[in-house]
A and B are shown apart, each in its own frame.
Chain A
Amino acid sequence: MAGAGDGDDEVQWCFSQVKGAFDDDIAEADIISTVEFSHSGELLATGDKGGRVVIFQQDPESKSQPLCRGQYNVYSTFQSHEPEFDYLKSLEIEEKINKIRWLPQKNAAQFLLSTNDKTIKLWKISERDKRPEGYNLKEDDGRYRDPSSVTALRVPVFQPMDLMVEASPRRVFANAHTYHINSISVNSDNETYLSADDLRINLWHLEITDRSFNIVDIKPANMEELTEVITAAEFHPHQCNTFVYSSSKGTIRLCDMRASALCDQHSKLFEEQEDPSRRSFFSEIISSISDVKFSHSGRYMMTRDYLSVKIWDLNMESRPVETYQVHEYLRSKLCSLYENDCILMRCVHEYLRSKLCSLYENDCIFDKFECCWSGDDSVVMTGSYNNFFRMFERGGRQDVTLEASREVSQPLMVLKPRRVCAGGKRRKDEVGVDSLDFSRKILHTTWHPHDNIIAVATTNNLYIFQDKC
């Protein structure tokens, strides 16, 4: 699928690895909340609800072997954010990592930005494989020597040691957001980045933590007039003055920072006029854009709303150039997904034995699915329910539904395409819409920037797949 062509050239995906335990009892802190490959693809970072970041590294020995290039091992783990409490407003601040974004590598160390609802942190990840030994005043294990027992001097030398990966917070960008941060995006100038919350977007310099510029503010003077919120924002991959932000009403605004200091006035407004015959009670809710991503080329951008993925040409604002239905069969189920009654019933069995899971508070129709481009922009991918994820080949050529499941968890097992039966006669290997498990959803996916390796996060497991070669 990553390459063009007929059935013979069709890409098949194989299982490579799965990270995390297969417990029925899922601790809330283990729920994966973001996944991101680094710019080289060598590192893969995940953030979870407990505020931790786990970084996997591509196995250096397997990297060159075509069959096992999808081997990733734990490289580093650290606690990025802690739960906090806003005493002024009597509100908890969740430690859940909303987004991780890598900086392009400049030297031996790696840098990433991680954010929760309120605070962004810049982390430096560096390796240490030597340590000094032979101190005069200290033993090797750290205990201090009795000075009177020192009779001769020696020069400490560096000795090799087991590789240790250090993560240290280099910058903390705090107190700039009243509302919940939903996106961060590093600029192509590699000096600045933006952070977006529900009503405002701020521009930061990576070196400066005590100031940020507000570049978008959609908060009205009278809050009663508030009709939409910002849902995602991203910088253009090549033009350092351009960024886009999406809204809960299904619009995308492209802004040019050269035009004015405050970009409340958009340069371009991307909106598809709604088909009046399809209008329903849920139209506005399902049009809310949950993710926006520029293509690597910078010519296109992709948006994800509840039922579909749309590809927009930046030169055309009136409508998307391509639209792909992710799970159109859910349209008739919108009522029950909103009310969540049958979803709850399905969830009850799984969560009976565990603590009250916050899942029951979530209504599926508000699930925020992400989407991503393949390295060459020829395929786009997004997640769905029942641990299904979908890939769409550009140009509307082919699409496939695959599943991240325990059954296909042997190395090099090929993933079989899945089908959902929307109605009528159900064939043997099809899954009926009513038997979809809405508690198992894939919200976060990421694609290796240069290779056909993908990472797909289920609730608390990370699946890594590679293409069969």
Chain B
Amino acid sequence: MKSLALNILDIVQNSIRARANEITIRITESSEEDIYTIEIRDNGSGIPDGIIDNVTDPFVTTRTTRKIGMGLPLLRHHAELTGGSLKIKSKEGMGTEIKATFSFRHLDRQPLGDITGVLKIIIAANPGIDFIYNHLTDKGEYSFSTRETKEYLETDSLYENSLLDDIAGMIGENLKGIGATGFDYRGNV
């Protein structure tokens, strides 16, 4: 994966497949403390007890379309390359929390990349899921929620290309405002 945003897109797929209806993505970055973390939390089915200890082994997957699962092993690999780690907490029937910790300054840490584009497509493709995106830097914090946005706009659907682009633009402006690093900024109109 070329960027952290693509890793996030992939990890969120696990939550979608686990039938979550609320998924929270939280990024915390601090160059001062040399730390960059990504947390993804869902209220889906949880990881079965029998496999939780082994999910970062590529030969562990519950899917039937193919025999290896690569998402979590890849994320763990990327985190460990920077001296960081991957932690997974999950309870069957309750949900799952994934936390990847990276060194902020390590050369092997991928940049965040196109996070607003990733949010655009997961929002478009999953109208039944509430997404919360939270980003914390040394300078400040920004939070976005699809539910809050729908309520504010008095609409039950955000599925419209120009609206989604505006939402992506809005998130980008705010990330710029708090000095988030490494994301592809596409100025909005």
Is chain B found bound to chain A in the same assembly?
A: no
Q: Which residues of A approach B to under 8 Å, CB–CB? A: none
Q: Which residues of B approach A to under 8 Å, CB–CB? A: none
